Amino acid sequence: MPQWPSAILFDFDGVIVNSEPLHFLAFNTVLEEEGIELTEQDYYNELIGFDDKGAIKHLYTTRRLPLEPKTFLRLMTRKSEVMMELIRARRYKALPGVEEFVRALWRNYPLAICSGALREEIEVMLEGVALRDCFGVIVSAEDVTVGKPDPACYLHTARLVGQKIKKTLKPSDCLVIEDAPKVAKNARQVGFSVLAVATSYSIERLGDANWAVQSLQVDQVKKKIPQLKLEIA
């Protein structure tokens, strides 16, 4: 039997680092400047799983607000600026178990990031938690025309990893690690196996994934997916 998985594809925000609170603060700051209220509950209920473009469009559509192109561009630019200010202030850290878990995997599997975040945000935070060297492929919001929660991002990431390792990868060859229920459901529907982590939502809301864990602590994941090769230094 061939080794499964052939590759592991990680979401980033809320999976590798605790950056969802930063995204909320950035969105809240930017929208407040526009006279729009966004509560923390609104953010977690409505916007997790979207990239910035999708989040802004979703918010304006559901609140029936006009979104002119110049307004959209201003919001996108300002949100990125505020987010980078928070990142440079080191307002984040790796989530529990992540550093050990990633290091335990990377000698045995090609690892990739598939995120709706901007590349600069991902790169700076990965460097900040000393895990940049573990990921051979990073797919960010700039790399896809259709963002999450659509699974196109994961399909694109699998293709890029396959090119890197010179092997055609089907979705069923890969393990996806996600925290957003809708993204997990959509990824599974196109053939990926999904491990969901209950960092942004309760574990009860992650039933559409193949497996769900409270955190990426090695022992928790090993109990759920015993066939994973996890080498702890």
The count of C-alpha atoms lying within 13 angstroms of the C-alpha of 18, restricted to the half-sphere facing its C-beta, is: 11
pLDDT over 50 at 1, yes or no: no
pLDDT band at 154 (very low <50, low <70, confident <90, very high): very high
Q: For 229, which DSSP code? A: -
The secondary element (H helix, E strand) that includes residue 9 is strand 7-10
Rounded to the nearest 10°, the torsion over CA 58, 43, 200, 10 is 40
Q: Please give the structure tokens belonging to residue 42.
A: 């609104």
**pLDDT for position 105:** 96
pLDDT band at 2 (very low <50, low <70, confident <90, very high): low
Nearest to 134 by CA among 159, 166, 102, 108: 102
Mean pLDDT value of segment 106-135? 95
Three-class DSSP category at 62: helix
Three-class DSSP category at 17: strand
Spatial strand order in the sheet of 137-139: 137-139, 111-114, 7-10, 174-178, 193-197, 211-213
> For the chain, percent helix, then strand, then coil, each to nearest 5?
50, 10, 40
What percent of the chain lies above the pLDDT cut of 70? 99
Please count the other Cβ atoms lying within 10 Å of the Cβ belonging to residue 202: 10
The model's pLDDT over 21-69, given as tens digits with 9 standing for 90+, comes to: 999 999 999 999 999 999 999 999 999 889 999 999 999 999 999 999 9
What percent of the chain lies above the pLDDT cut of 90? 91
**pLDDT for position 226:** 95
β partners of residue 211: 195
Distance CA 229, CA 204 (A): 27
Token pair 């923390």 in the structure block, residue: 40
The model's pLDDT over 174-228, given as tens digits with 9 standing for 90+, comes to: 999 999 999 999 999 999 999 999 999 999 999 999 999 999 999 999 999 999 9
Average pLDDT, the chain: 94
Q: For 94, which DSSP code? A: B
Query: In the chain, what are the domains?
Result: 7-18+92-224 (3.40.50.1000), 20-88 (1.10.150.240)
